[in-house]
A and B are shown apart, each in its own frame.
Chain A
Amino acid sequence: MSKPHSVIRQTITTPIVLIVVLLAMAALTYAFGSRAFNRTAIEMFINIMVVVGLYAFVGNSGLLSFGHISFMCLGAYMTAWLAIPPVMKSITLKGLPGWLLHTQLPMWVATPISGVFAALFALIVGRIIMRLSGIAASIATFGLLGVVNNVYSNWDTVTGGQGSIVGIPPTMNVWIGWLGAAVAIVIAYLYSISRSGLALRATRDEAVAASASGVDIVRERLIAFVVSAFIIGLAGALYGHFLSIVNPGSFYLRTTFITLSMLVVGGMYSLSGAVSGVVAMSVLIELFRNLEKGVSLGGVTVGLPNGVQEIAIGIITIIILIYLPTGLTRNREFSWRGWPLQRRLAPSVQTALKEIN
């Protein structure tokens, strides 16, 4: 089997470039960034994990999912259950089973468990939902988000209901954030060059031809679903450790749409697109946050009124989409030779999309 090796050789530069660039960003942040800036950077790394996780499913399958933030919710709450000191849990989360109530695990252990938990959940619900395709599948993932949010918002004795659960040890820093992003990128990359990932992308571009040549669409989609749930579950766990509190409201529509926007702005069919979408949006958000705080111009502080940040970001998103409907990366990958496979697929995607409209 020499073929997988050649695929790796042709494409390996992409994850390396991405990870190295992010490492540089982490190092610069660590060396020069303020405390607040460090937090922004950590948030960006977590968002990269989420959006890369989304890419693993959306990018390879071509199905838009509104449900992936529920995996973030699952991961974050699992981490809360595992990592909060038992003393605190016994007061706020009385409904937890005894063995869980008396456990406290460090972040290094709690995080992978949370990822696996999200993946297992995805395996179960995915067996049902992945049978659907097109917009029906998208709506079903929406339903999934609704169910998970509703349950976590109301199962008071286990999740603390609408309120926040506090007490997750705040052990995140910018290096762990980078590591998380790197792990996400590596997993998503390995999936996309795996047999399943290649087959799934073939179904995305040429559904009929792919299924005629024996690709089991449901199965490949399910694998992608589980892989992406694992990544996003990890992101949720780290997010819990980052904020040290979890709250169901953080894992609902707003986050869903912001992360989806990041993916589409970057280019939803490429790993580089997923990462650069998050970086671009994070830079924009930070820029406008500073503009709102005010810029000193010859002794006079000029600041934008509050609220301009979101409005500007919304408008800029629209403008980017108007001029680059396939995202900042135009669905291509970063590397010095390009991703040959992607390049070859790109035009057929374009015509396919045109025909749909």
Chain B
Amino acid sequence: MSLLAVDDITVSYGRLTALRGVTLDIAEGEILFVTGPNGAGKSTLLNAIAGVVPSGSGTITLAGGMITGAAPEEIARRGFSLVPEGRNVFGGLTIEENLKVGTGMRTDRKKIADDLDSVYAEFPMLAERRHTPAGMLSGGQQQMLVIGRALMAAPRIMAIDEPSLGLAPKIIDQVYEILMRLRAQRKLTLLIVEQSSTRARMTGGRMVLIRGGRIVLEGAAADMVKDARLKQAYFGFGDH
């Protein structure tokens, strides 16, 4: 049974339709890449799942429960943790405070301290500067922080919007390395949005391609990259 199922959702901003009937599902422990050109509706998809933008029609199910139209905090409490584009650290809060914001909804209170230690173990740089305001961190460090922050919420599924945006290639490698390790350790389900398919190919997993608010291609990332249709679908040459 799938952990997250998005069924035929449509999202519009005013008269602009950003998503038209998107359907996808993710099984427990799976990794799914959502790729596509700028303005394809990738971020909108994540925001719609997170409850930040309302969907016009369709349903979203998380772990068997309907979350369509639920408030963002309720969706988060059911185990969906979104790391939005642009990272959104709480600049005025210290690193440690940032990490703790998401723990308020946890029921396994006793494990929080352990998790904090393991996040610090994973990101030693955060541990060193735990009482520094998060606004002082560099882009790469902020990316680590928001991943750590999302982990502290003990999610069942973690969604990341463009983790490589604005980061140096070396840092990107680092981020992915950590993500993959976390996935292996915690059986974390990952939903990652990236503009390019390069990472998906390198990491493996499943991939969907969105363009113009629709899913135009779907399959195993490794196969798809070889597929000539990918380029076509991405740039919209020809018609499908």
Q: Do A and B touch directly, given a CB cutoff of 8 Å in the complex?
A: yes
Bound Cα distance from A350 to B16, whole angstroms? 12
How far is the CB of B55 from the nearest CB of chain A, in Å? Answer: 15
- Measured between alpha carbons, how far is A347 from B16 in the docked complex, in Å? 9
C-alpha gap A347/B14 in the complex (Å):
5
- Find the B residue at minimum CB distance from A354: B13
What 1/0 mask marks residues of chain B from 1 to 24 whose CB sits below 8 Å from any chain A CB?
000000000000111100000000
- Chain A nearest CB from B169 CB (Å) reads 30
Residues on the B chain within 8 Å of A350, using CB? 14
| A90 lies within 8 A of chain B by Cβ | no
Tell me, rounded to whole Å, the shortest Cβ–Cβ distance linking B51 to chain A.
15
- For A347, the closest partner residue in chain B by CB is B14
Bound: A348/B16 CA distance, A:
10
Q: Please indicate the chain B residues that have their CB under 8 angstroms from the CB of A347 in the complex.
A: 14-15
- The residue in chain A whose Cβ has the minimal distance to the Cβ of B14 is A347
A residues within 8 A CB of B13?
A: 351
Q: Taking the nearest CB of chain B, how far is it from the CB of A229, in angstroms?
A: 34
The interface bits of chain A over 315-357 (1 if a CB of B lies within 8 angstroms of the residue's CB, else 0) are: 0000000000000000000000000000000011011000000
Give min CB distance, B39 to chain A, whole Å.
Answer: 15
Min C-beta distance of A313 to chain B, whole Å: 33
Docked CA distance A292–B13 (Å): 47
How distant is A348 from chain B, measured CB to nearest CB, in Å?
7
Q: CA of A347 to CA of B13 in the docked complex: distance in angstroms?
A: 8
Chain B nearest CB from A304 CB (Å) reads 41
Task: Give every chain A residue within 8 A of B14 (Cβ-Cβ).
Answer: 347-348, 350-351
- Give the chain A neighbours of B15 by CB distance below 8 A: 347
Cα of A326 to Cα of B148 in the assembled complex, Å: 41
Question: Cα distance A347–B15 when bound, in Å?
Answer: 7
* Minimum C-beta distance from A296 to chain B (A): 51
* Chain B residues near A351 (CB-CB < 8 A): 13-14, 16
Bound-state CA distance A348–B14 (Å) is: 7
Q: How far is the CB of A326 from chain B (nearest CB, A)?
A: 13
**Nearest CB of B to A205, in Å:** 12
- Cα–Cα distance between A351 and B54 once the two chains are bound (Å): 13
Give chain A nearest CB distance to B25 CB in angstroms.
Answer: 29
Residue of B nearest to A349 (CB): B14
Scan residues 1-60 of chain B and give those whose CB is less than 8 A from a CB of chain A: 13-16
Q: Which residues of B contact A348 (CB under 8 A)?
A: 14
CB distance from A152 to the nearest CB of B (A): 42
Q: How far is the CB of A342 from chain B (nearest CB, A)?
A: 14
When chains A and B are docked, how far (Å) is the Cα of A350 from the Cα of B14?
Answer: 7
Which chain A positions have C-beta within 8 A of B16?
A: 351
Complex CA–CA separation, A168 to B41 (angstroms): 65
A347 to B12, CA, bound (A): 11
Which residues of B133-186 are within 8 A (CB) of A? Answer: none
Rounded to whole angstroms, the CA-CA distance of A350 and B15 in the bound complex is: 11
- In the complex, what distance in Å separates the CA atom of A350 from the CA atom of B12? 12
Give the distance in Å from the alpha carbon of A99 to the alpha carbon of B43 in the complex: 69
User: Nearest CB to that of B53 among chain A residues?
Assistant: A354
Whole-angstrom distance between the alpha carbons of A350 and B13 in the complex? Answer: 9
For residue A344, which residue of chain B has the nearest CB? B15
Closest Cβ of chain B: how far from A350's Cβ, in Å? Answer: 6
Shortest beta-carbon distance from A209 to chain B in Å: 15
Q: Render B80-118 as a binary contact track against A, CB cut-off 8 A, 1 for contact.
A: 000000000000000000000000000000000000000
Which B-chain residue is minimally distant from A346 (CB atoms)? B14
Taking the closest CB of chain B, its distance from the CB of A33, in whole angstroms, is: 44
Closest to A352 in B: B14
Residue of B nearest to A350 (CB): B14
With the chains together, A351 CA to B16 CA distance in Å?
A: 10
Residue of A nearest to B15 (CB): A347
Which residue of B is nearest A355, CB measured?
Answer: B13
- A23 → B minimal CB distance (Å): 37
A-contact bits for B190-212, CB 8 A (1 contact / 0 none)? 00000000000000000000000
**Nearest Cβ on chain A to B171's Cβ, whole angstroms:** 29
User: Measured between alpha carbons, how far is A176 from B183 in the docked complex, in Å?
Assistant: 77
Closest partner residue, chain A, to B13 (CB atom): A351
- Taking the nearest CB of chain A, how far is it from the CB of B11, in angstroms? 12
Bound-state Cα–Cα, A156 to B158, Å: 69
Within the assembled complex, what's the spacing in Å between the Cα atoms of A259 and B13?
32
Give min CB distance, B52 to chain A, whole Å.
11
CB within 8 Å of A: which residues of B? 13-16
Q: Would you give 7 A-B contacts (Cβ < 8 Å), ordered by A? A: A347-B14, A347-B15, A348-B14, A350-B14, A351-B13, A351-B14, A351-B16
